[in-house]
Amino acid sequence: MAEMTWQQDRLEHNRLARAQRGDEDAFARLTEPYRRELQLHCYRIVGSLQDAEDLLQETMLAAWRGLEQFEGRSSLRAWLYTIATNRCLNALRDRERRPQAAPGDRRGGPGRISHPPESFAEIGWLQPYPDALLEGVMDRAPGPAARYEAKESVALAFVSGLQHLAPRQRAVLVLRDVLGFHADEVADMLGSSEASVNSALQRARGTLDKRMAPRQERVTVPSAGDDAEMIRRFANAFESDDIEGVVALLTDDAVISMPPQPEWHQGRDAIASFLRARHAERLPSRWRFYRVAANLQPAFAYYLEEDGEWVRGGMFVLAVRRDGIESITRFPDDGRLLDRFDAPPHL
């Protein structure tokens, strides 16, 4: 094992030396192992798949241009995270995005619990993240300082919750509690002090804890048993416009939302009323579902019937708790989104 590690370090050192002399192929091989995790890092901070892809390209370009200045005082991985994080913070300052209160029925129904729902309706720029891009990334153990499990840290509810934090707090929380970097490392990345990092982390944790459900009530990754059967029944009910069947699978405090549209409805009665109204608008059109994979949560691309063909319309991402489906989030297809989830153009 020690011999293998030594050989890997030597190989990376040789590639670094060649890349610093202008060898583009060596640079590509040097940075390729980090590309997916850096893109996921950008996604957590900005909440948008498209923006994360753009920021990854900006990070790689900045790294290529600045590679001669890399002196090895930190690991290459930490140096790349420094660039990516600061690119994200610059983008957030330029865009000045702020979560907006979404209209809708928030009253819910009987049995509603007191904690804020794991909802992301107020984040108009939120996009789902393909599971295919998580392969290999989820297998890497975070540092010892990490607070969140890997699966939890890619859930839509978590990514949405991050968007409510100030940009610097967002970056600190992801670097410390998700990736497990130490406070002194994060301070170096952000050009700050450890005291400032720890203060930002405490404020970020407090805000996020208020928005997230208690850990024992958070969404789960569906198993091959009862949860999978619930998801199958949900798809069948939705395809057949069985609104009562859909509602029966929901938790008491379930939420349906449709970013970027300002639609946000909570509780079985409110959701049932909303679905009936949408059903009446859609008639006589029908739809079909096609299973995809997003944020390690159940997801479906949906297809609408147009002139005898089934044409892509968008996708649904579900959040599942032990007592039922906690949220339904619909994302429209912008002509490119579903390409990233390998959903065919037609059924």
The CATH number of whichever domain residue 259 belongs to comes to 3.10.450.50
pTM over 0.85: yes
In a domain, 82, yes or no: yes
Residue 154 has pLDDT above 60, yes or no: yes
Residue 139 has pLDDT above 80, yes or no: no
User: How far, in Å, CA of 56 to CA of 83, rounded?
Assistant: 10
**Residues 118, 264 contacting (CB under 8 angstroms):** no
In a domain, 21, yes or no: yes
**Pairing label, strands 250-257, 297-306:** unpaired
Averaged over 145-159, what is the pLDDT? 89
In order of 10, 99, 210, 215, 299, the CA distances from 203 in angstroms are: 41, 18, 11, 19, 33
What's the pLDDT score for residue 221?
Answer: 53
Which range has the top average pLDDT, 111-125, 168-182, 213-227?
168-182
Averaged over 325-333, what is the pLDDT? 93
Residue matched to tokens 């969404």: 219
**How many helices and strands in the chain, by DSSP H and E?**
11, 6
What's the pLDDT score for residue 107?
Answer: 42
- CA dihedral (265, 268, 273, 274) positive or negative: positive
In a domain, 284, yes or no: yes
Q: Which of 306, 312, 318 is closest to 335 using CA atoms?
A: 312
What's the pLDDT score for residue 226?
Answer: 59
User: How far, in Å, CA of 347 to CA of 59, rounded?
Assistant: 38
Domain count, the chain: 2
* Three-class SS state of 318: strand
- Its domain, for residue 7, covers 1-96
- What does pLDDT average to over the chain? 85
In a domain, 208, yes or no: no
The lowest-confidence range among 58-72, 100-114, 199-213, 248-262 is 100-114
**Which two structure tokens, joined as six digits, stand for 283?**
């008639």
In a domain, 130, yes or no: no
What's the pLDDT score for residue 283?
Answer: 67
